[in-house]
Structure 1
Amino acid sequence: GRHQILAKSPLTGIFGECDVGGAWGSAFRATGFDALVIRGISDRPVSLVVREDGASVEDAGDLWGRDTFETYEAYKSRFPDSETACIGPAGERLVRIAAVLHDGRHGRAAGRCGIGAVMGSKRLKAVVAAPGRRTPRPVHDAQALAKACTAFAREIPGKTERLVKYGTAGIVVSSQDLGDIPVRNWNEGSFGDRAVPLSGQHLAESGRLKKRFFCGRCPIGCGRTVELSDGTLGAGPEYETTCMFGSNCLVDDPEAVILANELSNRYGIDTISAGAAIGFLMEAFERGETSGIDLGGIEPVWGDGKALVQLVRLIGERRGVGEILGEGVLRASRVVGRPDYAIHSKGLEFPAHDPRAFNSLALSYATSNRGACHLQGFTYVFEKTIPLPERGFPTAQDRFGTERKAELVIASQDLMGLFDSLKLCKLSMNGGVSATVALEWLNLVTGWNLDIEEFLTAGERIFNLKRAYNCALGVSRKDDTLPDRIRFVPKGGGAGNNLPPDLDASLDEYYRLRGWTPEGIPKPETLKRLGVRYPDEVGPRP
C-alpha cells in the first residue's frame, strides 16, 4: 500500500520526498496508473479524482477549511471504494511543515519536507483514487511470487514481535537506554524513567490501545488505534512523534502527546518538524530569547503538555508564534537570532535518532538528499541487529566504531533507494527481507533476470540522480553538515561521551567512494557510468 510524493521542498528548497504507507498506494495502482504528475495552480480549491478511465478536476470549495479527517470521510461517502490523500488547514495556509494525510483517523502521514504546502499552493485539497473494479495487474510468475511472499508473511510477525505488540513506540525505552532519543532539544542524554509512560508498552498495558492498524496487506500491523480522552478513537503516536513531542520537549504526559499527534493529523502537520520547532521555542524561552514575539499568552516551558498542545494549534492555524514555528527551525532561528538552537541539516529538522548514539547517522544525515533523515540511510539498524552481507557486512556493526562507516552509509543509502522505489516498508528488514530477497521478488514480478550487482547499482543510480538535482540547485559540501551541538558536545546517558567521527574526514572518504569531487559534486564519469545527467532546469532555490 505504500506510495511516494515528490516535489521541490518549500521548507528546504531542494529535493523533497515523502514515503508513506496505508491504503492509498494500492487504490491508485488499481486505477491502472503508475504515477501522477500535477502541474500548475488552480484559481479555486479543487480535488483531483483518478479513476480507471482517467482523471477529473472537481470543485472542493465546500471542503476548503475542513480538517483531514472530515475531508477523508466526505470523499469516502461520495466514492465508497476510494482512498484519499489530502491536506488540512496547515497545508491550505502554506505552513512550510505541512503534511499530506491518508486513511482518515488512522493518520498515515506523508510528513516531511512540507509537501502539504505544495498542494496548498496549487489549491489542491485532495487526490482521490477511486479504482472501481480493481483489476489485478499482470505478474510474470504469480505462483512462485505467492509462495515466496507467503513464507515470509508467516515468519515476519514472529520476528517482529515487539512491533506487532507495541508498534514503533515499543522501542522508546530501549532507545532511551541507548542514548538515542532527543532530550530537551538535543541538550541532554537521558529521559530516565520518564520515558516509560510514553512507550508503546505502557499504551497497551494502560488499556488505551484498542486495536492495530495494518498498511494494506502488511503482516506486522504496527499502527495503533487508541482511545482519546473524549472516548473517540484515533491514531496512536509513532516512535518519532512520541519522542519529538515527548522527550524532546520534556513532556512525559502521554495524554498530551496523543492529543498533539491527533491535532497534527487533523491540521496536516509533520510531527517531527513540529516537535523540533516547539523544542526550539522552549529552549529560546528558557534562555530569555523570545522578547518581542507574540506567544499568545502561552508560556512555553519545558514539560508543559498543555503548552505543547496549544502550540500545535497555533502552527496549524498559522497564528502568532505558530506562524514562526510553522516555517521550520532554520527560519525560526533567524527570527530569534539563535541558529545554535536549531537542530537540522539542509533545513530539515532531525528525526528522533541521535548521531552521537550511532556513528553512521552523522554522515548519513549530512549527505541525505532531503536533509536530515534516518530513512534515506536507515544506517543505524545495521549498527544494531541487521547484517548487510551483499555489501560485505555479514554481521551488525559496532555503533561506536569508525571503520568502514562511509562504505556502510553508501551501501545503506543505495539500498533504501531501492526499497522506496519498490514500495517495500523498511520495517520488513526486521523480519528478514534483505536486498537478496527484494531482488528475488522483483525478478518474479517483472520477468527480469537482474543479478545483485545490477540491482544495487540501480540504487546507486537513484541516489546520484537526486544528488544531481540538488547540485543543480547549488548544493555542495558546504551543505553537507551538522549542528555544532551534535558534532562537538557529548550527550551523556546511554551514548556516554561518544561523538560522531570527524565529519570532514568522513566526507572526504564518502565523496571518494561515491565518485564525487572533493566539493561533493558527482564527477562526469560517475554520472555517465550510471546513465544520469544533470536536469536541464530546476528553477530557483527558495
Structure 2
Amino acid sequence: MAHGWWGKILEVDLTHREFQVREIAEQEMKTYAGGSGLAASILFREFEDCDPLSPENPMIFMPGLLTGTPVPSASRSTVSSRSPLTGLWDESNVGGYWGAELKSAGWDGIIVRGASASPVYLYIADDKVELRDAAGVWGKDTFETEEQLKAETDPKAKVAAIGPSGEKKVLIAGIMFDGKLGRAAGRGGLGAVMGTKNLKAIVVRGTQRVPVFDSAALKALLKNEIPVIKEKAAGMSKFGTAGGVQAVEAWGDLPIKNWTLGSWEEGAKKTTAQSWLEDVLDSHHTCYGCPIRCSKLIKLDSGPYAGIYGHFPEYETLAGFGANCLNDDAEVIMAANDLCNRYGLDTISTSAAVAFTMELYEKGIITLEDTEGLVPEWGSAEAILTLTRQIGEKEGFGAILGKGTRKAALEIGKNAIEYSIQTKGLEFAFHDPRAFTSMAANYATENRGACHLGALTYFLGRGIQVPDLGYTEPPDVLSNDGKAKIAYDMQNYMSIFNPMGLCKFLFLASVGPTQIAGWVKAVTGWDVTPEDMMALGERLFNLKRMYNVRLGVSRKDDTLPPRLLAHARPSGKSEGSLPHLGKMLNEYYKLREWSEEGIPTRKKLKDLGLAWTEEVLPIAGV
C-alpha cells in the first residue's frame, strides 16, 4: 500500500470524452515526487511539438507528494504545460484547498489532453468522474463560476476555474482556485491553455483520508516544529506579503516607474498593508493545514470601489499596480486586484503591461490614437483599471497587452522592446537584481522565465537562514562575488517544494531539507536523507532545463533586460549597483556542470539519473 500518495492519475481526453486511470510506480514517485516533478517527467517523455494553444498541448494538474497530509503548509498543487506566453516550460503553483481535496478524492493528479467541442467542466467526486456542460458559466467571472458550480455539485467541493480572459485565450491568463479566496496559478498563461480546451473548470469533492505511514512519528515531529514555524513567521501571519512594501523599498528592491527610479518612501508607506489593512480587513484565512495564515479577505464598504469583497492584494500586486505605475492609492490597487481575480489574470504580468504602456506613452512611442483616447499617464487610476479590463476582455489596446510585453513590444515596434522588463518572455516579479545581485543569476536561468520563487535568494540577504545549506549569515547583497553559488544552492533547494506540495514560506522559518526529509520518511515510509532531497531538487531543475533545451534554450536566453544590466538605480540603498551577469553565468554553469553555452553535459545527466533525456542534445548541437 502506498502512503502519502495513491498510485494513480486521472487521464482526461476532452476530444473523445474518455477517461483512463494511469498507474504510478513507486520508483517513479521516489525519483520525481509529485507536483511539477512528476509532471516534468511525463511532459518530457510525451512531448508534443505543437502550438501551446493547440488541443495537442497537454496540461497536468498535480498536487505534491505531501499535499493533503498533516505536514504544515502541505496544500500546494502545480499546473504544468508548455506556456503560450513564453513557448517554454511552465509550472504555476497554487495553494488553497483544491489540491488537498483532489488527494482526498483518491487521485495524485490529472492529465488533460485534447479539446472539447463545447464548453465543459470536469467533476470529480472520489471515483466518480464526469464531464458536464459549462454553457451556464461560460462568460462568467471566477467568483460567479465557483458559486454556481458548487451549487450544481456539492457545497463542499473545491473549484479551479478560468475567467473570461482564459476563455478568450489571453496569454497572461491564469487559473483561479477557491473563488473569493483568490488562490491563483497565475504565471505563464495556463488559463489560456484551459480556454483552448474549452475546459471552464475542474470541480473536486473528496471524502477519503490520505494514508500516512507513521502518524505517531509525524505527530512527534510536528509537535516541536509547528510552534517554531508560527513564531518565526509571525509577521507574515499578521500582514501577509502585503506588509512588505516598505521594507522592500528600504532595501532599494522595489521597482518604481517601470524599474527606472530608486526611491519611493512616501508611496511605499501609503501602499503597504500596515497603512490600510485594519480598515478593510474582513477575516484572516489560511490554506489547507497551514499554521502561518498569511491570507486575508478584505471588504470595502464605502468610496468609489465599495462592494469589493475578496482576497487582499499580495506584495507583487501592490508593487506592480503601485510603485511600478507610480500609483500610491491602495484602493485603486485593491480594485485592480479584484478585476484580475475575477477575469483570471496574472497580476504580475498585467501590472507590468500597464507600466510598460505608461512609459511608451511618456516616450511618445504610442499615442492617444493607439489607446483610443485613454490617457495612460503615470499614476492614473483610470488608466490602470481601464487597461486591466481591456486586457481581461481582449479589447482595445488591452488586446495587444494581453499577449505579454515581449510580444506586444515586437508588434508595436519603434524600439518598444527596450521597455519590456522580461526574461524568456515572462515579466519580472517585483524584486530588483540590482538590489540583491544573486537574483540576477536566478532570474536569468530560471526555467519558466523571470521567476522570483525559483530561488528567493533576496531573503538570505535580509537575514533568513538555511543552516542545512550553510547559510547562517547574510551575504553582501550588492557584491557580485559568490552569487552564482547562492543561486545554484537555492534553486536546488527551492526545487524540492513544488514536488512536495509545500509552501515556500516555510523557508522563512528556516525549514530545510532535514525537516522535509523527516516529513517524507514519516508520511511515506521511505528511508530518505537531506542529501536525497537536495539531489531531487537538482534532478528536477535539470530535467526542466532539458525540456527547454529541446525548444532551443541556451546561454543566449539566460539574460536580463538591458535596463537591469546597464542602468543603475539613481537613489536608495542599492544606488549605483549593477549585476555582472556574464561572470556569474560562467561560474553558475561550472557549478551546474553545464557547457559554456548552458547545456547540461552527458556526464551530469547520467549522474542525475537523466541519461534518458540525452535524445534532445543534438538539437543544441551537442
TM-score (norm: length of structure 1): 0.96
| Residue aligned with 2:123, SS | strand
Q: Verify: 1:119 aligned to 2:194, yes or no.
A: yes
The answer for the alignment partner of 1:94 in structure 2 is: 169
The answer for the alignment partner of 1:340 in structure 2 is: 418
The answer for the alignment partner of 2:391 in structure 1 is: 315
The answer for the alignment partner of 1:178 in structure 2 is: 251
Superposed displacement of residue 498, structure 1: 3.9
Superposed displacement of residue 180, structure 1: 0.8
| Cα distance in 2 for residues equivalent to 1:186 and 1:446 | 46
The answer for the alignment partner of 2:63 in structure 1 is: none
Report the residue type matching 2:105 in the other structure: T
Q: Verify: 1:330 aligned to 2:400, yes or no.
A: no
Report the residue type matching 2:584 in the other structure: S
2:287 to 196, 212, 215: 215
Are the equivalent residues in 2 in contact too, given 1:369–1:466 (CA < 8 A)?
yes
Are the equivalent residues in 2 in contact too, given 1:181–1:353 (CA < 8 A)?
yes
1:279 to 336, 348, 355: 355
Q: Verify: 1:58 aligned to 2:137, yes or no.
A: no
Q: Verify: 1:479 aligned to 2:552, yes or no.
A: no
The answer for the alignment partner of 1:47 in structure 2 is: 121
Deviations 1:1-52 (A, max 9, x none): 2110001000000001101111111111111110110011111101111222
Give structure 1 stretches of 5+ with no counterpart.
none
Report the residue type matching 1:461 in the other structure: R
| Residue aligned with 2:495, SS | helix
C-alpha spacing 1:150/1:232, structure 2 compared with 1 (3 Å): farther
Are the equivalent residues in 2 in contact too, given 1:212–1:222 (CA < 8 A)?
yes
Superposed displacement of residue 136, structure 1: 1.2
| Cα distance in 2 for residues equivalent to 1:408 and 1:496 | 19
Q: Verify: 1:520 aligned to 2:598, yes or no.
A: yes
Are the equivalent residues in 2 in contact too, given 1:356–1:495 (CA < 8 A)?
no
Are the equivalent residues in 2 in contact too, given 1:4–1:17 (CA < 8 A)?
yes
The answer for the alignment partner of 2:68 in structure 1 is: none
Are the equivalent residues in 2 in contact too, given 1:179–1:189 (CA < 8 A)?
yes
Instruction: Report matched runs for 1:249-268 at 5 Å.
Output: 249-268=325-344
Are the equivalent residues in 1 in contact too, given 2:484–2:584 (CA < 8 A)?
yes
Are the equivalent residues in 2 in contact too, given 1:357–1:498 (CA < 8 A)?
no
Deviations 1:372-402 (A, max 9, x none): 0000111111221122333333323221123
Report the residue type matching 1:419 in the other structure: F
| Cα distance in 1 for residues equivalent to 2:542 and 2:369 | 42
Report the residue type matching 1:140 in the other structure: F
Deviations 1:431-464 (A, max 9, x none): 2322211111111111122222222111100000
Instruction: Report matched runs for 1:5-404 at 5 Å.
Output: 5-78=79-152, 79-131=154-206, 133=207, 135-205=208-278, 207-228=279-300, 229-291=305-367, 294-337=370-413, 338-404=416-482
Instruction: Report matched runs for 1:429-440 at 5 Å.
Output: 429-440=507-518
Bigger CA drift: 526-535 or 516-525? Answer: 526-535
Are the equivalent residues in 1 in contact too, given 2:174–2:190 (CA < 8 A)?
yes
| Residue aligned with 2:459, SS | helix
Instruction: Report matched runs for 1:402-417 at 5 Å.
Output: 402-417=480-495
Are the equivalent residues in 2 in contact too, given 1:389–1:395 (CA < 8 A)?
no
Are the equivalent residues in 2 in contact too, given 1:179–1:492 (CA < 8 A)?
no
Deviations 1:40-65 (A, max 9, x none): 11111011112221421111111110
C-alpha spacing 1:98/1:293, structure 2 compared with 1 (3 Å): farther
Report the residue type matching 1:105 in the other structure: K
| Residue aligned with 1:522, SS | coil
Runs of 4+ aligned structure 1 residues displaced above 6 Å come to 535-538
| Cα distance in 2 for residues equivalent to 1:204 and 1:8 | 37
| Residue aligned with 1:264, SS | helix
| Cα distance in 2 for residues equivalent to 1:107 and 1:512 | 41
C-alpha spacing 1:288/1:172, structure 2 compared with 1 (3 Å): same
Deviations 1:269-324 (A, max 9, x none): 00000010000000000111113853132100001112101111000000010001
Deviations 1:75-97 (A, max 9, x none): 11122221010000000000000
Instruction: Report matched runs for 1:483-494 at 5 Å.
Output: 483-494=561-572
| Cα distance in 1 for residues equivalent to 2:282 and 2:205 | 29
C-alpha spacing 1:439/1:500, structure 2 compared with 1 (3 Å): farther
Are the equivalent residues in 2 in contact too, given 1:22–1:215 (CA < 8 A)?
yes
C-alpha spacing 1:54/1:202, structure 2 compared with 1 (3 Å): same
Bigger CA drift: 331-340 or 529-538? Answer: 529-538
Superposed displacement of residue 495, structure 1: 3.5
| Residue aligned with 2:253, SS | coil
Give structure 2 stretches of 5+ with no counterpart.
1-74
Please, what is the CA RMSD of the aligned residues? 1.6
| Residue aligned with 1:534, SS | helix
Are the equivalent residues in 1 in contact too, given 2:105–2:124 (CA < 8 A)?
yes
Are the equivalent residues in 1 in contact too, given 2:516–2:530 (CA < 8 A)?
no
| Cα distance in 1 for residues equivalent to 2:219 and 2:309 | 35
Are the equivalent residues in 1 in contact too, given 2:94–2:185 (CA < 8 A)?
yes
Superposed displacement of residue 183, structure 1: 0.3
Deviations 1:460-479 (A, max 9, x none): 00000000000000000000
Deviations 1:236-288 (A, max 9, x none): 10000000011000011111100000000000000000010000000000111
| Residue aligned with 2:78, SS | strand
C-alpha spacing 1:504/1:348, structure 2 compared with 1 (3 Å): same
The answer for the alignment partner of 1:529 in structure 2 is: 607
